[in-house]
């Protein structure tokens, strides 16, 4: 079975941390991108938004000659949405798909690097 998902090859993905009124369509979400993030919604970057109940996600993406609006509504559970930090975080194509699958992407961090001078 094929899935309609954001491609892993999308160069830049921005996750907008604040809750968004999901009555907004591509124009309202594009206005958030321009006015609150100071970014260009026509840049080919993917922008990810969530509703207050954390059970719906919208992704906004400009594709050559029009906007693509990806929408996912969960039937029972909630998305694991990062809480702390800046208003926007950058994700990879793999991470957005993990988020859509229900993983907590804030926990998907590598081990910290350690530096030692001696074994003893």
pLDDT digits (tens, 9 = 90+) for 96-108: 888 888 887 777 6
pLDDT digits (tens, 9 = 90+) for 32-72: 999 999 999 999 899 999 999 999 999 999 989 999 999 98
Report residue 18 as tokens: 């604040």
Q: Taking the model in full, what pTM does it have?
A: 0.80
Residue 3 has pLDDT above 80, yes or no: no
Report residue 5 as tokens: 């998902």
Any residues with CB less than 8 A from the CB of 68 and at least 6 apart, and which? Answer: 59, 60, 61, 62
- Give the residue carrying structure tokens 């907008």: 16
Quote the CA–CA distance of 40 and 43 in Å, as a whole number. 6
Residue 92 has pLDDT above 60, yes or no: yes
């Amino acid at each position: 079975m094929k899935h309609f998902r954001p491609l892993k090859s999308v160069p830049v993905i921005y996750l907008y941390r604040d809750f968004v009124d999901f009555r907004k369509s591509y124009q309202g979400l594009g206005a958030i991108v321009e006015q609150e993030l100071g970014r260009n919604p026509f840049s080919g970057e993917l922008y990810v938004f969530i509703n207050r109940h954390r059970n719906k996600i919208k992704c906004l993406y400009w594709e050559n000659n029009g906007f693509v609006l990806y929408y996912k509504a969960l039937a029972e559970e909630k998305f694991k949405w990062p809480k702390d930090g800046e208003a926007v975080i950058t994700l990879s194509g793999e991470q957005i798909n993990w988020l859509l699958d229900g993983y907590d992407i804030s926990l998907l961090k590598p081990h910290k690097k350690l530096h030692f001078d001696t074994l003893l």
